[in-house]
Amino acid sequence: MQTIQIDRLNKHFGKKQVLFDINLSFERNQMVALIGPSGSGKSTLLRHVNGLNIAAEGDIRINGLALLSKGRLSKNVRQQRAKIGFIFQQFNLVNRLSVIDNVLIGALGRLPKWRAYSRTFTEAEKRQALLCLERVGLVDLALQRASTLSGGQQQRVAIAKTLMQQADIILADEPIASLDPESAKIVMNTLQNIHQEDGKTVIVTLHQVDYARRYCPRTVALKQGVVQFDDATTLLSNAFLNQLYGSEAQLEEVTEASTSFANVVLSQ
Ligand SMILES: Nc1ncnc2c1ncn2[C@@H]1O[C@H](COP(=O)(O)OP(=O)(O)OP(=O)(O)O)[C@@H](O)[C@H]1O
């Protein structure tokens, strides 16, 4: 069975159509890069898979159950979303809370309402949150305020939160866009490790193609809301990337980022 099945997804913002007849399926345990120039619809597509957007038309099924039917959110959207962890470019942590409290927030969706409202956690849940932090290498910082962490560390806390959530699917929207190459590498290694060891499906939007080449066996490329490529990442050619990114300026940006990435990798 497909973990995520997207059929005939069409999205408009006002009169502007931004996704055109998207048909994609993702099997369990895939790590997939979503690439494309700025404004091509990558974030909009991910937000639909997380049930954050409605569409003009289209169906999305998660583990066989409807999330979006004919563009409308299903009644079970809350249940469906509980299985999906979402990682944002800007980390999305509560700065004034400790690192462990941020991770515990990941459990709220599966707790009884009264405990979610009162934010009462059991000792077992706290131990579990510590284990999640251990997985991302940050257990020593559990009691520190989230705001005192570096960007890369905050992103790893966000990943620990999806582990606490027990999400089957992790959608990461430009998780490394605001990080230096070394931190970006650690965050991508963490996502890869969770994908490989826990068998989670990971879809990650990336601006730098070399990260897709290194971490994601499959790539989906979008341009102006249309899927241009959906295949093994090894089949991405420079000629195709030239056509995808169009302007030389954007391609240079992608290549420059790749060069600094390569330098970091080579210096290991
Ligand atoms: N809430 C919104 N209201 C109106 N238009 C929007 C909204 N969100 C996105 N868009 C438009 O939809 C198109 C796709 O945007 P989206 O953010 O999905 O692209 P992207 O590929 O993720 O871009 P980037 O790489 O720059 O983040 C763009 O033209 C954008 O301006």
Where in the chain are the domains?
A: 30-40+81-261
Q: Whose CA is nearest to atom 5 of ligand 1?
A: 13
Which tokens go with 70? 């004919």
- In whole angstroms, give the CA distance from residue 68 to residue 71: 6
Please name which of 267, 87, 266 lies closest in space to residue 191, comparing C-alpha atoms.
Answer: 87
Using 50, 70 and 90 to split pLDDT, how confident is the model at 251? low
CA 121 to the chain's CA centroid: 26
Which range, of 53-57, 109-113, 233-237, 254-258, averages the lowest pLDDT? 254-258
> Between 250 and 26, where is the model more confident?
26
- In whole angstroms, give the CA distance from residue 260 to residue 168: 32
Over residues 244-265, the mean pLDDT reads 57
Which tokens go with 114? 């009264």
Judge contact between 7 and 58, C-beta under 8 A: yes
* pLDDT value at 216 more than 50: yes
CB atoms within 10 A of CB 141: 18
Which tokens go with 52? 């954050």
What is the model's pLDDT at position 267?
Answer: 44
What is the model's pLDDT at position 74?
Answer: 87
Q: How far is the CA of 184 from the centre of ligand 1 (A)?
A: 23
Determine the CATH number of domain 30-40+81-261.
3.40.50.300
In this structure, the residues whose C-beta lies within 6 A of any atom of ligand 1 are 13, 18, 36, 38-44
* pLDDT value at 100 more than 90: yes
Q: How far is the CA of 19 from the centre of ligand 1 (A)?
A: 10
Q: Own/partner pairs for 8-11, CB < 8 Å, 24+ apart?
A: 8/57, 8/58, 8/59, 9/45, 9/48, 9/55, 9/57, 9/58, 9/59, 9/60, 9/68, 10/55, 10/56, 10/57, 10/58, 10/71, 11/41, 11/44, 11/48, 11/53, 11/55, 11/56, 11/58, 11/225
Judge contact between 222 and 40, C-beta under 8 A: yes
* pLDDT value at 97 more than 50: yes
- Mean pLDDT (the chain) is 89
Q: Whose CA is nearest to atom 6 of ligand 1?
A: 13
Choice from 12, 17, 35, 40 to test ligand 1 binding pocket (greatest atom count within 8 A of CB) = 40
What is the model's pLDDT at position 9?
Answer: 96
Using 50, 70 and 90 to split pLDDT, how confident is the model at 248? very low
Please name which of 93, 107, 91, 5 lies closest in space to residue 48, comparing C-alpha atoms.
Answer: 5
Strand pairing report for 201-205 and 169-173? parallel
Over residues 181-197, the mean pLDDT reads 95
